[in-house]
Amino acid sequence: MRKLLVLPVLTAAVAFAAAGCQIGGKTVEKDKVEQQINDKLGLSASCPQDLKGEVGAKLECKAGARTVTVTVTSVEGSQVKFNMQAS
């Protein structure tokens, strides 16, 4: 008989002022994204790159055996809002 392991899904919404710029848009530095994951979800994460400040942009960060998907939901001026979901 197989047992199904169910991990709780953690989610959080964050508003963050974009710290850097790239050609054609804004970015949130990866260390700032990692800090928000730690602060809001209680997970120590590592992200491969900065988060693009474009609606719909996604970034997958690793937190141990879990993956945290970060998705930009809106950009208003220098403010980038994003959701985080750990699975």
Taking only the tens place, the pLDDT of each residue in 5-52 is 444 455 555 555 444 434 346 889 999 999 999 988 899 999 999 999
pLDDT of residue 78: 80
Query: Residues 61, 45: contact at Cβ < 8 Å?
Result: yes
pLDDT of residue 68: 93
pLDDT in tens, 50-73: 999 999 999 999 999 999 999 999
Q: What does the domain layout of the chain look like in residue ranges? A: 10-86
Q: How far apart are CA 71 and CA 59, in angstroms?
A: 7
